[in-house]
């Protein structure tokens, strides 16, 4: 029991770090609190190292009485989540109203803790607790700018939608528990496999559970909250929700759907997820076409990316799981790069309108280049990581005979390319009056941009070792 | 280990591009210096590689293979044969002359050369790829920078539209082909993207019949194949001079080359089924392209449509499925690349001085810029297929090959050549001879020495290939052997 704690070292560290940040927040003078971001980011960097170490040395099985699973898949998601949290904290350091608030950093750490537990949960109770530990801090953070009506609206909307989805999901959990008498996922799966539950009911349970998870990953038709929340929430929080929270959502989605409702017994949900994937890609990309606000555009693009990642899930193969994991890693790092640029620009020009990006390439060529790399990676252009990631998910689909799904994905990526190019056109082509003014980039943003650019290129060009890692992680399910 | 000459050729441009992007924007002299140096190095190495290929030995040479993504059987695998080597040389030539001609780019030259060189790496990379995944990797790198190059530095009136149209067309083509490549990967069961192994995969006839059109048309878009050609004139016209040269000169070859390497060579049975009807599309390219070129009044559009027409000849050679046809196509890719680069360079020089490309408004330029006029006439004669110039060397075998396959097609295609002769002569008369309009008198000067050097290099190659084809024809023929081996197998 005591030895097993080594596998949750990152989680323990997150909790301790949250305590330290709150403590410092109470003792430090207001001016000194700005450096809390550095403390949090440095702490997360150390925990990232621990998480990587622990991903390379997984226990491979259930720990703590079956509450958590310490396998490579969980540990890999934990690496992605902690990395996303670290970058989001860096992004928060330049935003008025967040930068000098210790509690904001502490809330982000608690949400990160919840996400790590989501990825590792091996029991329905643990899973529900982890989801709520994640969600509640995020509701607060989305509405954190109390004097900004859009932020308040975002917080309330996120809370209402989230609570509703959570309730529906809980109902699904209760069906599973009621009929099988088990809460451990592995035991529930065994019980379903021997036919303890009428087919109608577990199909219903699967659908109810999908509602909760679909909300977390913002897949159509559970995406309605996304644009408003992404637009209204403080941008670093938007970045955090759109990356870490989505990755954690996919972690539970894959684990529960593939292990509890094993496809061998229950192929019925697969068709629904295929439909969700197609709808998410298509709707996300098509609605992104008309957006005038960069945060809304990225919101719709994130819906589309959830659709691409779902392709890996419906392939129902080790390759599929590995490709989804790789895709999420790629998406997280790329999307954070894009949001970093959005914040850098919005801090100075004071607006998130795409039109405000005019002349950026003359004003700050390096920032414009970073945005270009980020958007092209999202569009799936080599040598950036988005290209290999897309090839992997499409390959997973083709391998399982879903050639039409790969074609839908491919056609959607063309629509995607169109609106990313529109943004780049504004950045590179249009002139603005203020292009002679410099655009200062402060140290946290230099770090965030540097790290994400490095990630985009290294993962994109030297993808081999990372993909092997993802294949190992897929071994946790298959 | 031997000297990795191909790798150095491939990566010189991108390394130079990154260095250029990191230089301070106001150091325009340094930027141009690095650009010229890098393109000279790339050209020099391509020439060295070209002449160090051992023709009697044949096959792929200067091969280098390093595992890249072992889980997928993907490796960094490069090498050249008789078909790709001339295109590597072509890229080196166009890159070098393109830099010379772009000396005067004054709006953000750092980004201009940076993006142009990233694109060049993509082009070199595709020509030397022996791995299917790697081919796509470089293909996309070659396509994207085009968007920015056209949208930022292009012709104000149409650049946004043309850049977007071009990028989307090419991206659609390449991703559709990518799905075909994935299907090949899984169907082969070999678990490798290595094209040399996929050649031996022995795909079933049904598989080849289904996937050949997907792959061929996917790449054919970039090769300007009718009815997917219509991004190309718009794109060429809107692009700045060096980019038009690159685009028509090299990128369209990229499409034709990939259609050959991936479509015909990996799916030969499919090729035999489908190419006999695709030949008619190629025929439309040749004749229709020439007719449309004839009625244009915009100088640059004429050249743009002439590219569509000439690329049709390349496709015609492929579709003839005969040895002569492939030799002709291989030569035509090189010859047309140099010729069209020359044409676009000339158009750019005229436009930079006259500020109009409307043919009826131009005239008498031969007196002010004789070198340009001579160069254009050389290019024009090549374009008509005049013996003694490279166009004849390339087009004659194509017609031989097509005649053996479909005599009627060859006869109709020959009409395209007649029309070509007509529009070239019209341009020579209207633009370069006749009276010069008064508005141009006085302020039209001659071109710079760098421009003359670029035109000289391009004209020299066209003439050299025409009078002494032996420096390229045997090489191309050795490359065609492997294509014929695959096509003749069953």
Task: State the best of B110, B166, B170, B171 to mutate against chain A, taking most chain A CBs within 10 Å.
Answer: B171
Instruction: Give Dmax (Cα) for chain B.
Output: 70
pLDDT at site A321: 92
Pairing of strands B74-80, A68-69: unpaired
pLDDT at site A213: 92
Radius of gyration of chain A (CA): 21
Which residues are A123's β-sheet partners? A184
Whole-number Å distance between alpha carbons of B21 and B25: 8
Q: What is the DSSP letter of A357?
A: G
Whole-number Å distance between alpha carbons of B209 and B338: 35
Nearest to B465 by CA among B304, B323, B363, B334: B334
Q: Are A213 and A172 in contact (CB under 8 A)?
A: no
pLDDT at site A263: 66
Average pLDDT, integer, range A335-355:
90
pLDDT at site A264: 65
Q: Are A45 and A103 in contact (CB under 8 A)?
A: no
Nearest to B401 by CA among B487, B288, B490, B475: B487
Sign of the CA dihedral A6, A7, A13, A15?
Answer: negative
Put simply, the answer to whether A425 touches B136 (Cβ < 8 Å) is no
H-run or E-run covering B62: strand B61-69
Tell me whether B70 touches chain A (CB under 8 Å).
yes
Nearest to B436 by CA among B345, B338, B346, B367: B367
Judged on CB neighbours under 10 Å (0-12, 13-18, 19+), B358 is exposed
Tell me whether B151 touches chain A (CB under 8 Å).
yes
Q: Are B333 and B253 in contact (CB under 8 A)?
A: yes
- Least confident residue range of A75-89, A154-168, A260-274, B42-56: A260-274
Give the pLDDT confidence of B130-164 residue by residue, as tens digits: 999 999 899 988 888 888 888 888 887 888 888 88
Q: What is the DSSP letter of B73?
A: T
H-run or E-run covering B96: helix B84-101
Shortest Cα distance from B152 to chain A (angstroms)? Answer: 5
Tell me whether A50 touches chain B (CB under 8 Å).
no
pLDDT at site A378: 93
A317 neighbourhood in chain B, CB within 8 Å: none
Q: Are B379 and B346 in contact (CB under 8 A)?
A: yes
Tell me whether A406 touches chain B (CB under 8 Å).
yes
Task: State the best of A359, A425, A431 to mutate against chain B, taking most chain B CBs within 10 Å.
Answer: A425
Give the pLDDT confidence of B303-353 residue by residue, as tens digits: 888 888 889 889 999 988 888 889 999 999 999 999 999 999 988 888 888
Put simply, the answer to whether A414 touches B171 (Cβ < 8 Å) is yes
Could you tell me the two tokens for A88? 């989001």
Give the pLDDT confidence of B19-56 residue by residue, as tens digits: 888 888 788 888 888 889 999 999 999 999 888 888 88
State the virtual CA torsion across A346, A351, A352, A355 in degrees, nearest 10.
-110
Q: Are B349 and B447 in contact (CB under 8 A)?
A: yes
Could you tell me the two tokens for A352? 């998130």
pLDDT at site A265: 63
Tell me whether A428 touches chain B (CB under 8 Å).
yes
Put simply, the answer to whether B172 touches A403 (Cβ < 8 Å) is no
Q: Count, in order, helices (H) and strands (E) of chain B.
A: 20, 2
H-run or E-run covering A69: strand A68-69
Residues contacting residue A103 through CB under 8 Å, at least 6 positions apart: A22, A25
Please provide the average confidence, as pLDDT, over all residues in chain B: 87
User: How many CA atoms lie less than 13 Å away from B80 in the CB half-sphere?
Assistant: 29
Q: Which of B71, B108, B140 sits opposite A471 (nearest CB)?
A: B71
Give the pLDDT confidence of A158-193 residue by residue, as tens digits: 999 999 999 999 999 999 898 888 889 888 888 888
| Banded model confidence at residue A370, pLDDT cuts 50, 70, 90 | very high
Whole-number Å distance between alpha carbons of B475 and B472: 5
pLDDT at site B438: 76
Whole-number Å distance between alpha carbons of A366 and A65: 51
Q: Which chain A residue's Cα is nearest to B144? A: A381
Q: Are A102 and A21 in contact (CB under 8 A)?
A: yes
- Least confident residue range of A192-196, A360-364, B52-56, B400-404: A192-196
Q: Are B357 and B299 in contact (CB under 8 A)?
A: yes
The yes-or-no verdict on residue B444 having pLDDT over 80 is no
Average pLDDT, integer, range B270-279:
87
Give the pLDDT confidence of A184-202 residue by residue, as tens digits: 988 888 888 887 778 888 8
| Banded model confidence at residue A3, pLDDT cuts 50, 70, 90 | confident
Q: Are B238 and B158 in contact (CB under 8 A)?
A: yes
Residues contacting residue B84 through CB under 8 Å, at least 6 positions apart: B127, B128, B257, B261, B479
The yes-or-no verdict on residue B490 having pLDDT over 50 is no
Q: Are A273 and A313 in contact (CB under 8 A)?
A: yes
Q: Which chain A residue's Cα is nearest to B151? A: A429
Tell me whether A369 touches chain B (CB under 8 Å).
yes
Q: Quick one: residue B321, left, alpha or beta (phi over 0 = left, psi -120 to 50 = alpha)?
A: left
Put simply, the answer to whether B183 touches A403 (Cβ < 8 Å) is yes
Q: Are B85 and B45 in contact (CB under 8 A)?
A: no
Tell me whether B179 touches chain A (CB under 8 Å).
yes
Q: Count, in order, helices (H) and strands (E) of chain A.
A: 20, 2
Task: State the best of A406, A464, A466, A470 to mutate against chain B, taking most chain B CBs within 10 Å.
Answer: A464
Q: Which of B69, B111, B172 sits opposite A467 (nearest CB)?
A: B69
Put simply, the answer to whether B68 touches A464 (Cβ < 8 Å) is yes
Provide the whole-model pTM.
0.90
Tell me whether A285 touches chain B (CB under 8 Å).
no
A418 neighbourhood in chain B, CB within 8 Å: 164, 168
Residues contacting residue B449 through CB under 8 Å, at least 6 positions apart: none
What are all long-range contacts of A341-344, with beta carbons under 8 Å and residues at least 24 apart? A341/A367, A341/A370, A341/A371, A341/A374, A341/A449, A342/A235, A342/A294, A342/A295, A342/A298, A343/A91, A343/A94, A343/A95, A343/A235, A343/A236, A343/A239, A343/A445, A344/A94, A344/A439, A344/A441, A344/A445, A344/A449
Backbone angles phi, psi at B62, to 5 degrees: 55, 40
Q: Are B136 and B174 in contact (CB under 8 A)?
A: yes
Whole-number Å distance between alpha carbons of A324 and A308: 8
pLDDT at site A229: 93
Put simply, the answer to whether B179 touches A403 (Cβ < 8 Å) is yes
Structural domain spans, chain B: 5-488
Whole-number Å distance between alpha carbons of B365 and B347: 12
Q: How far is CA B406 from the centre of its chain?
A: 26
Average pLDDT, integer, range A100-117:
93
Task: State the best of A372, A398, A408, A420 to mutate against chain B, taking most chain B CBs within 10 Å.
Answer: A398
Q: Are B50 and B8 in contact (CB under 8 A)?
A: no
Could you tell me the two tokens for B271? 């090729």
Average pLDDT, integer, range A232-248:
93
Better pLDDT: A174 or B189? A174
Average pLDDT, integer, range A376-388:
90
- 3-state SS class at B83: coil
Give the pLDDT confidence of B85-141 residue by residue, as tens digits: 999 999 999 999 989 888 887 778 888 888 899 999 999 999 999 999 999 899 988
Share of chain B above pLDDT 90, in %: 13
Task: State the best of A387, A410, A436, A467 to mutate against chain B, taking most chain B CBs within 10 Å.
Answer: A410
pLDDT at site B1: 53
Angle, helices B449-467 vs B390-405, to 10°: value is 50
Residues contacting residue B263 through CB under 8 Å, at least 6 positions apart: B212, B215, B216, B219, B270, B271
Backbone angles phi, psi at A62, to 5 degrees: -70, 145
Please provide the average confidence, as pLDDT, over all residues in chain A: 90
The yes-or-no verdict on residue A307 having pLDDT over 80 is yes
Share of chain A above pLDDT 70, in %: 99
Put simply, the answer to whether A414 touches B160 (Cβ < 8 Å) is no
B140 neighbourhood in chain A, CB within 8 Å: 381-382, 387
Average pLDDT, integer, range A90-101:
87
Better pLDDT: A263 or A394? A394
């Amino acid at each position: 029991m005591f030895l097993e704690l080594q596998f949750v070292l990152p989680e323990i560290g997150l909790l301790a770090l949250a305590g330290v940040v709150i403590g410092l927040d109470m003792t430090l003078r207001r001016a000194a609190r700005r450096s809390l971001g550095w403390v949090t980011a440095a702490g997360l960097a150390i925990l990232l190292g621990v998480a990587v170490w622990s991903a390379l040395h997984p226990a491979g099985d259930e720990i703590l009485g079956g509450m958590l699973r310490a396998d490579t898949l969980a540990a890999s998601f934990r690496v992605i989540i902690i990395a996303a949290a670290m970058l989001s904290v860096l992004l928060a350091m330049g935003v008025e109203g967040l930068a000098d608030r210790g509690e904001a950093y502490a809330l982000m750490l608690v949400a990160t803790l919840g996400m790590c537990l989501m990825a590792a949960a091996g029991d329905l109770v643990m899973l529900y607790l982890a989801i709520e530990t994640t969600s509640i801090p995020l509701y607060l953070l989305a509405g954190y700018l109390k004097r900004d009506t859009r932020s308040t609206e975002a917080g309330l909307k996120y809370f209402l939608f989230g609570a509703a989805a959570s309730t529906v999901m809980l109902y699904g959990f209760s069906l599973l528990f009621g009929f099988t008498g088990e809460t451990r996922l592995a035991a529930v799966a065994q019980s379903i496999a021997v036919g303890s539950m009428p087919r109608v009911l577990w199909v219903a349970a699967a659908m109810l559970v999908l509602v909760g998870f679909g909300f977390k990953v913002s897949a159509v038709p559970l995406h309605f909250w996304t644009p408003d929340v992404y637009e209204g929430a403080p941008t670093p929080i938007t970045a955090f929700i759109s990356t870490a929270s989505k990755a954690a959502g996919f972690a539970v989605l894959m684990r529960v759907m593939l292990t509890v409702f094993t496809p061998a017994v229950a192929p019925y949900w697969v068709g629904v997820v295929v439909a969700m994937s197609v709808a998410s890609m298509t709707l996300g990309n098509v609605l992104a076409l008309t957006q005038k606000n960069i945060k809304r555009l990225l919101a719709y693009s994130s819906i589309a990316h959830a659709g691409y990642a779902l392709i890996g899930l419906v392939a129902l193969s080790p390759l599929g799981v590995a490709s989804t994991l790789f895709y999420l890693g790629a998406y997280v790092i790329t999307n954070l790069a894009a949001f970093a640029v959005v914040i850098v620009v919005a801090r100075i020009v004071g607006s998130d309108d795409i039109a405000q990006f005019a002349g950026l390439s003359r004003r700050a060529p390096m920032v414009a280049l970073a945005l270009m790399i980020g958007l092209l990676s999202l569009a799936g252009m080599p040598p950036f990581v988005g290209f290999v990631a897309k090839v992997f998910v499409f390959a997973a689909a083709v391998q399982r005979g879903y050639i039409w799904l790969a074609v839908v994905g491919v056609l959607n990526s063309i629509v995607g390319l169109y609106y990313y190019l529109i943004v780049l056109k504004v950045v590179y082509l249009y002139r603005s009056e203020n292009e002679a003014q410099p655009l200062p980039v402060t140290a946290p943003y230099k770090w965030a941009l540097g790290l994400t650019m490095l990630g985009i290129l290294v993962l994109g060009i030297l993808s081999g070792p990372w993909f092997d890692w993802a294949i190992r992680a897929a071994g946790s399910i298959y | 280990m031997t000297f990795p000459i191909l790798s150095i050729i491939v990566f010189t441009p991108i390394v130079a591009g990154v260095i250029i992007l990191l230089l301070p924007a106001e150091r325009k002299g340094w930027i141009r210096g690095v650009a010229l140096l890098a393109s000279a190095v790339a050209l020099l190495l391509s020439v060295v590689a070209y002449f160090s290929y051992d023709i009697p030995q044949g096959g792929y040479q200067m091969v280098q293979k390093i595992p890249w993504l072992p889980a997928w059987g993907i490796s960094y695998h490069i090498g050249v044969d008789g078909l790709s080597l001339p295109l590597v040389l072509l890229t080196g030539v166009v890159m070098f002359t393109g830099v010379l001609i772009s000396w005067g780019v004054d709006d953000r030259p750092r980004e201009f050369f940076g993006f142009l060189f990233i694109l060049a790496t993509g082009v070199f990379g595709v020509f030397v790829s022996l791995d299917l995944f790697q081919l796509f990797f470089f293909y996309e790198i070659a396509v994207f920078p085009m968007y920015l190059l056209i949208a930022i530095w292009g012709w104000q009136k149409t650049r946004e539209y043309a850049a977007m149209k071009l990028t989307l067309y090419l991206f659609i083509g390449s991703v559709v082909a990518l799905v075909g490549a994935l299907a090949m990967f899984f169907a082969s069961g070999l678990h490798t993207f290595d094209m040399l192994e996929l050649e031996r995969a022995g795909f079933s006839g049904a598989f080849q019949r289904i996937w050949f059109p997907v792959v061929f048309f996917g790449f054919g878009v970039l090769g300007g194949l009718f009815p997917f050609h219509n991004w190309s004139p718009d794109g060429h016209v809107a692009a700045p001079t060096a980019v038009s040269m690159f685009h028509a000169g090299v990128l369209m070859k990229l499409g034709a080359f990939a259609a050959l390497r991936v479509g015909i060579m990996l799916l030969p049975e499919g090729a035999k089924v489908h190419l006999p009807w695709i030949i008619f599309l190629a025929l439309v390219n040749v004749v229709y392209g020439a007719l449309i070129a004839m009625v244009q009044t915009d100088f640059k559009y004429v050249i743009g449509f002439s590219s569509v027409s000439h690329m049709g000849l390349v496709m015609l050679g492929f579709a003839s499925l005969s040895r002569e046809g492939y030799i002709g196509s291989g030569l035509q890719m090189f010859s047309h690349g140099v010729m069209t680069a020359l044409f676009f360079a000339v158009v750019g020089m005229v436009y930079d001085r006259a500020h109009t490309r409307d043919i009826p408004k131009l005239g008498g330029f031969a007196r002010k810029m004789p070198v340009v006029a001579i160069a254009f006439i050389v290019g024009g004669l090549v374009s008509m297929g005049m013996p003694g110039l490279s166009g004849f060397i390339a087009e004659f075998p194509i017609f031989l090959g097509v005649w053996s396959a479909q005599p009627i097609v060859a006869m109709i295609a020959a009409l395209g050549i007649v029309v070509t002769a007509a529009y070239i002569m019209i341009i020579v008369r209207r633009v370069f001879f006749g009276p010069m309009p008064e508005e141009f008198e006085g302020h039209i000067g001659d071109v710079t020495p760098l421009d003359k050097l670029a035109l000289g290099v391009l004209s020299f190659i066209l003439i050299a290939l025409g009078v002494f084809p032996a420096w390229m024809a045997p090489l191309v023929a050795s490359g065609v052997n492997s294509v014929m081996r695959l096509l003749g197998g069953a």
